[in-house]
Chains A and B, each alone.
Chain A
């Protein structure tokens, strides 16, 4: 960006073990999203390295990157990022489309995941017909459908009220209990406190990395 170069991330060194539930906190602009995007292979770092499942992610081909995103990572966005012309069940099933699963089969699987997030009755609804909490639950179902080892969520409850946030949080905890690694960006202290580990960031740097006081129930 010309003269106004911003270091979105600076000398971040982080190791996350399989099965962890990590919250990333920090003020706005501190680099939380940038970190998550790099971990999700949606963005790449200018320097440094990222190893996922013992494989370096720095110089992947388009095809390999696509494969990792598809099979290894489930991403949940603050703004849901559902495809507006697809129904809930089709949105959930989309990652399986890129695995070559037949329509019938992937829609059946997608239904199971919708059921799991409590939205089976909204399967044929378009995103525009869903509330924010419902949309996010659809997005979570979509992130889970490929049974990824790593779930990345960038302020998944940022656009939701506290009650809905609670439901979403329950979902993530459940997912983590199944053995999936969950990394979640959040502003809210109480939500962060319910994870096992909290990372604080400021100006692109990790300033603290502490195990959560409150054990996860």
Chain B
């Protein structure tokens, strides 16, 4: 019965009952449209938060040395412990829980700054000696050039990677500084890269003021010998930084002849709390999106079902007429089902089309802020997975068909006389 004549019947019914068609269609259209916008927006927010939090969301531990507080093996307390390259080598050998170990050293004390200059221009910076791996511990976006690499380290090249603020202050934001020389404590370094930190607010200014040099170069030119200032480390997947930090300290205590229970000899700080807080934030956002999404879909399904139920009731009399003229119940049911599926498919497709266009429009409108990684925007390109959309549409179609089939079959049980009596 899927002939052109049946289609004509379907079209005619749909077109002649404009209000009902419009109501049903708009129910489905809005359901799909809102859900797409909602989920897309939700994903945009999630990605946005994800992007902006990626600068924080590492599970990092910092460990530095201090003074002993207890006598041990004939050594008196108050002894200053100095970390060296040998400690690094020992840790790499002995502590297998470590994912990334980055020995670091600074020119000034904690958060202290020193002058860096270009000709007569001077600004202040936090200068450190680092290895290439540090980049995975402190997420950053390279604007131009590159980060320190293994060759820089081996050849003790006098190169620096500078933060965006240093770049701006010394060169001006529009000048490419790569290849140019800057001076730190009268020693010339070649700029090899500029980075933007992936952090916000005060942190952003501070991190934009960082200047990275190769660790080996730093130790040589600033007369630090084999010294290491402190360690930054990330544990292997699945381990907490606290556990790994404890292992590191056991090894360091042995190497430096520190009493095992001397808790003051090494200091540490980790980002675990921060990390957990952000992870929970993500879970919250996810849960919210899904809750609202499912609620929207449910509302759509209920709305469409409702309209279908009413529509069938309204058409009782028409069905009675058709039956009195010789329509079989099956032919009436199949006609109504075809009407519903046609309507739902068209409205659903339009909903998808407009929803995706809506997302594209949101994307265009927010482009100026989302594409600027320096902006404090917790929003990114809104996206939506195709299978989510299709699943959703399928659910609506099935619901609408059921909401048609059940009352339509029921309507067919009624004798033509009764159906004709309906108003």
**Chain A residues close to B by CB (< 8 Å):** 37, 40, 42-44, 62-63, 66-67, 69-71, 75, 77, 81-86, 90, 94-95, 97-99, 102-103, 142, 146
- Which one, A43, A66, A67, A85, contacts B415 given CB within 8 A? A43
State whether B326 touches A42 (Cβ < 8 A): no
Which residue of chain A lies nearest to B13 when distances are taken between CB atoms in the complex?
A85
State whether A42 touches B416 (Cβ < 8 A): yes
| B327 interface residue per 8 A CB criterion | yes
Among the 9-residue stretches B37-45, B217-225, B316-324, B395-403, the one with 4 or more Cβ atoms under 8 Å from chain A is: B316-324
- Which one, B13, B324, B326, B330, contacts A99 given CB within 8 A? B326
> Interface on chain B toward A: helix, strand, loop, or mixed SS?
helix
Q: Known: A67-B326, A69-B323, A70-B325. Is A85-B16 also a contact (CB below 8 A)?
A: yes
Question: What are 10 A-B pairs at a CB distance below 8 A?
Answer: A42-B323, A42-B415, A43-B416, A63-B330, A71-B326, A81-B320, A81-B321, A81-B324, A83-B318, A97-B9
Which residue of chain B lies nearest to A142 when distances are taken between CB atoms in the complex?
B325
**Chain B residues close to A by CB (< 8 Å):** 4-5, 8-9, 12-13, 16-17, 317-318, 320-331, 412, 415-417, 420
Cβ–Cβ < 8 Å partners of B5 in chain A: 97, 102-103
Cβ–Cβ < 8 Å partners of B318 in chain A: 83
Determine how close the nearest CB of chain B comes to the CB of A65; give it in whole angstroms: 9
Determine how close the nearest CB of chain A comes to the CB of B227; give it in whole angstroms: 91
State whether B325 touches A69 (Cβ < 8 A): yes
Cβ–Cβ < 8 Å partners of A90 in chain B: 12
Could you tell me the distance between the alpha carbons of A103 and B317 in the complex, rounded to whole angstroms? Answer: 24
Which residue of chain B lies nearest to A77 when distances are taken between CB atoms in the complex?
B420
Could you tell me the distance between the alpha carbons of A77 and B5 in the complex, rounded to whole angstroms? Answer: 27
Which residue of chain A lies nearest to B14 when distances are taken between CB atoms in the complex?
A85
State whether B16 touches A42 (Cβ < 8 A): no
Which residue of chain B lies nearest to A64 when distances are taken between CB atoms in the complex?
B328
Cβ–Cβ < 8 Å partners of B325 in chain A: 69-70, 94-95, 98, 142
B4, B329, B416 — most chain A CB neighbours (10 Å): B416
Determine how close the nearest CB of chain B comes to the CB of A32; give it in whole angstroms: 13
Which residue of chain B lies nearest to A143 when distances are taken between CB atoms in the complex?
B325
Which residue of chain A lies nearest to B418 when distances are taken between CB atoms in the complex?
A43
Cβ–Cβ < 8 Å partners of A85 in chain B: 12-13, 16-17
- Which one, A43, A83, A103, contacts B321 given CB within 8 A? A83
Which residue of chain A lies nearest to B412 when distances are taken between CB atoms in the complex?
A62
Determine how close the nearest CB of chain B comes to the CB of A23; give it in whole angstroms: 21
Could you tell me the distance between the alpha carbons of A35 and B327 in the complex, rounded to whole angstroms? Answer: 22
Which residue of chain B lies nearest to A81 when distances are taken between CB atoms in the complex?
B321
Determine how close the nearest CB of chain A comes to the CB of B12; give it in whole angstroms: 7
Could you tell me the distance between the alpha carbons of A157 and B412 in the complex, rounded to whole angstroms? Answer: 30
Q: Known: A42-B415, A42-B416, A42-B417. Is A69-B17 also a contact (CB below 8 A)?
A: no
Could you tell me the distance between the alpha carbons of A84 and B325 in the complex, rounded to whole angstroms? Answer: 15
Which residue of chain A lies nearest to B329 when distances are taken between CB atoms in the complex?
A62
State whether B328 touches A63 (Cβ < 8 A): yes
Could you tell me the distance between the alpha carbons of A70 and B17 in the complex, rounded to whole angstroms? Answer: 26
Could you tell me the distance between the alpha carbons of A97 and B3 in the complex, rounded to whole angstroms? Answer: 12
Could you tell me the distance between the alpha carbons of A129 and B321 in the complex, rounded to whole angstroms? Answer: 19
Closest 3 CB pairs of A and B: A70-B326, A85-B16, A42-B416
Could you tell me the distance between the alpha carbons of A75 and B416 in the complex, rounded to whole angstroms? Answer: 12
Determine how close the nearest CB of chain A comes to the CB of B21; give it in whole angstroms: 11
Cβ–Cβ < 8 Å partners of A84 in chain B: 16
Determine how close the nearest CB of chain B comes to the CB of A29; give it in whole angstroms: 15
Could you tell me the distance between the alpha carbons of A90 and B330 in the complex, rounded to whole angstroms? Answer: 21
Q: Known: A44-B415, A81-B420, A83-B321. Is A103-B326 also a contact (CB below 8 A)?
A: no
Could you tell me the distance between the alpha carbons of A145 and B415 in the complex, rounded to whole angstroms? Answer: 23
Could you tell me the distance between the alpha carbons of A68 and B325 in the complex, rounded to whole angstroms? Answer: 9
State whether B326 touches A75 (Cβ < 8 A): no
Could you tell me the distance between the alpha carbons of A69 and B415 in the complex, rounded to whole angstroms? Answer: 13
State whether A43 touches B324 (Cβ < 8 A): no
Given contact pairs A95-B326, A98-B326, enumerate 6 new A-B contacts (beta carbons under 8 Å): A42-B420, A66-B323, A75-B324, A77-B420, A86-B12, A102-B5
State whether A69 touches B420 (Cβ < 8 A): no
Could you tell me the distance between the alpha carbons of A83 and B327 in the complex, rounded to whole angstroms? Answer: 14
Could you tell me the distance between the alpha carbons of A147 and B315 in the complex, rounded to whole angstroms? Answer: 28
Determine how close the nearest CB of chain B comes to the CB of A91; give it in whole angstroms: 9
Cβ–Cβ < 8 Å partners of B327 in chain A: 66, 98
Could you tell me the distance between the alpha carbons of A78 and B8 in the complex, rounded to whole angstroms? Answer: 29
Cβ–Cβ < 8 Å partners of B4 in chain A: 103
State whether B324 touches A40 (Cβ < 8 A): yes
Cβ–Cβ < 8 Å partners of A81 in chain B: 317, 320-321, 324, 420
